[in-house]
Structure 1
Amino acid sequence: MLAKGQTVIQYMEQFAPKSIAVPDDRIGLQLGTLQKDIRNILVALDVTDEVVDEAIALNVDLIIAHHAIIFRALKSINTSTPMGKLYEKLIKHDIAVYISHTNLDIAEGGVNDWMADALGLRQTVPIEQTSTDSLFKLVTFVPDTHVEGVRNAITAAGGGHIGDYSHCTFILEGTGTFQPEEGSEPYIGTTGKLESVSEIRLETVVPSSLRNKVIQALIKSHPYEEVAYDLYPLADSGKVYGLGRVGKLDAPVSLAQFVDTVKQGLDVPIVRVTGDLQRTIKKAAVLGGSGSRYVNQALFKGADVIVTGDIDYHTAQDALMAGIAIIDPGHNTEKIMKSGLAEVIRKRLEADKYDTQVHASTINTEPFQFV
């Protein structure tokens, strides 16, 4: 059985929700349709002419890429231009393109976590906080015969997580009253007669990002025709999302040694470095893509070095004076997302017993040559 396009994107948006992307980021479906079966998926950093040829050779129906192919509103598509030809080729071969950019950077277990893991960073926190997943208290009332089923459903949907603990709920016994009116089909009781039922008040915590999913699970698992529930916003902050990662190394190393770690971990032949190569590195920051404007935040978080791309001359000078080293391995290091994301999607498809295949692009889209 093949997965539908909407199913694949549901997996994607559970892993990297659109809601955590930075404002105005160009994400989501950019070309084609998801209203079809998906035989093959190609995960790519960029969508270039060579990547599209690779997709055609693999009979790909959907490309999931990190970098957008449409950056601003189109007034026309001229198929004699390079980008126009690219769009034409995708459309002719019925290949949809879906973009997951800063939401994939920010996501827990996403690009910046993959990069941090590759460099051996531990106990990581974001360089810059971008949002917080606000919390709600969900309260519902369930007949005591069904409380276990409802509790299992809402916790399986993501409710009941507090820190490192899951399945957190509170139960209080009580009596519920109701009178089924004309036209109702009550699970318990008789039309026109006031009923008193032994019920359980079931409470749990729900993050905003999973609110709809948990409510749907509640309604589906609850035996009543009309499900009573309350949602209360909580003052407690939920999960913090942010760009980049700052973390400790298992053991102090010299900047020169850490450069070798970066080359190996991020699979790059050469890097640009500022700072004394013999200085000691205990804490490091990493941010995929262009990170010039995050150098000061990394320094504020206690990083001895930041690993990021597209560093300009004046930012490097300022960093030298401020006392933080920089390792610039280039923007293309985000290619780590190809294998990482392909594995995430592949596991979800296999778990749900779909035959759809996932491929990590083998095309090198680095625009620079090192000579």
Structure 2
Amino acid sequence: MSRDLLPGVTGVLVLADGTVLQGHGVGATGEALGEVCFNTAMTGYQEILTDPSYMAQIVALTFPHIGNVGTNVDDLEQMSGAAETAARGAIFRDMPTPPANWRSDCDLPAWMARRGVVGLAGVDTRALTRAIRENGMPHGVIAHSPDGVFDLEALLAKAKAWSGLEGLDLAKDATCLQAFTYDEGLWSWPEGYAKPATPKYDVVVVDYGVKRNILRSLVSVGARVTVVPASTTAEEILARKPDGVLLSNGPGDPAATGVYSVPEIRKLVASGTPVFGICLGHQMLALALGATTVKMDQGHHGANHPVKDLTTGKVEIVSMNHGFTVDRDSLPSGVEETHVSLFDGTNAGLALEGKPVFSVQHHPEASPGPTDSLYIFDRFAELMDAGKSLGTTARS
């Protein structure tokens, strides 16, 4: 392991295998430990860095030009907290550019510093991406020191000692502390975020690290949204008489969070209430139905992933952010695979035959990313309509 740093270096990334990437520190000073992944999205860096699903991860952005739209108070995806419950670090090829957008109220480096996100710029992100593609997502420590002084041996020791995401229940830290209601719809120019219409449905969202745009998408299809902590029991949820229940996205190992969530999800499924899962919620629904999940080598992170809807034959370009996946070969009888990734053939959706229960691995709320999958929320609404007409929902 080389301990000679180039002149002017103020930031480093030290990987558990001894690799040291040198560059310029950006944002917060200090260091952050996590799993290093790459994201292929061309837009939406603020949404990426505030997505709770990136908790305990350091994100390398493959798109080279970052920072031109600045940041603003409206594009935060997490409901509360700072870098501790979202991305811990960010890696850029070039230094972030000054903002040039009418919605910007802060430049990216200053925003990162305020949030506590450690950044590194001026490194070969193509080489890092290729290494992750070939060898998997490494453990690493990203550090920023304006004086250029780093204890590389200590950073390496921390990277080596970290046990990684497997077995970690991070949803308990990303979730809300108490139930609350949400009533903001999707954003549209020039009005901004939509005002809610008279609600048609009552939806309970189990918060494992929910993104704001999921809540906005629910409001926009006519839902009165109540968000509850991840540890909420099925009995407590059903006592609210919801027309539907959404299992949200979130960070960590689904099997670890599933220790306390899976038994409750099984009760929700048995109740006949429509259940809809997204990302981590999809994985835990699969566990509740008898499937298994596995850790991925590179994961799926980006806004340009092709997924095929097997129920219609259509291909959509979606946003994805997950490092675990449902083992499609473990899906039991009665559980139908509805979506599949066209990148690697991994499972991207399922439905329970004869029940109003389904989920998708990708992010239909699409922030950042295309809007090809917003129809998924309409499907959820249709299931709630059917349940209300048949009198099978908990609210009926």
The answer to whether TM tops 0.5 is no
Query: What TM-score results when the alignment is normalised by the length of structure 2?
Result: 0.23
Higher percent of residues as helix: 1
Larger radius of gyration: 1
Query: What TM-score results when the alignment is normalised by the length of structure 1?
Result: 0.24
Pick 1 or 2: higher relative contact order, CA cutoff 8 A, min separation 6.
1
